[in-house]
Amino acid sequence: MQSFRFRLERILAWRRKEFEAEQARLGTIAAERQRLEAAQRAILAAWDRSARDLLASGSVDGGDLAALGGFRARLERELEANARLRREAAERLSGQRARTLEAQRRVRLLEKLRERRLGEWRVSWERELESLANDAFLARWPPAHGG
């Protein structure tokens, strides 16, 4: 009896690598999104600190207020740019999730096919083994003599 051989094994291996690559891309995009969210939190924290630090310094003049206004305007531009980048990352993340799920689906499909073929092979193997056992059992019987 031949050992089990799945004809699509190389394709299954390739699909698994494809799935792993899609997962890696998903992880990269998710990490980028987390980095952008951390940057947003840092910008918001700088916004909150700026006014507190100015008030804690004691005397505030017009130049200090102008500097605070300029600093906050720059922070607002950074927040807007960050929000745009986060939206883009969210869109890429959504698309990559879909590609990852599709790659996973293709792997599972081939794995199910492999399992089905393995099950069919086992049934065939067991039948052949039973047939061989029957033949061996019958071969042990002495020939029948007419009489």
The 10s digit of each residue's pLDDT in 39-50 is: 999 999 999 998
- Domain positions in the chain: 9-109
Per-residue pLDDT, 124: 93
* In the block, residue with structure tokens 């299954």: 12
CA dist 134 → 120, 130, 145 (Å): 21, 6, 21
Q: How far apart are CA 63 and CA 69, in angstroms?
A: 10
Per-residue pLDDT, 68: 85
**Cβ-count burial 63-86 (b if 16+ within 10 Å, e if not):** eeeeebeeeeeeeeebeeebeebb
Res. 141: pLDDT tops 70: yes
> Confidence class of residue 146 from pLDDT cuts 50, 70 and 90?
low
Q: How far apart are CA 92 and CA 98, in angstroms?
A: 10
Res. 55: pLDDT tops 80: no
**pLDDT tens digit string along 72-121?**
999 999 999 999 999 999 999 999 999 999 999 999 999 999 999 999 99
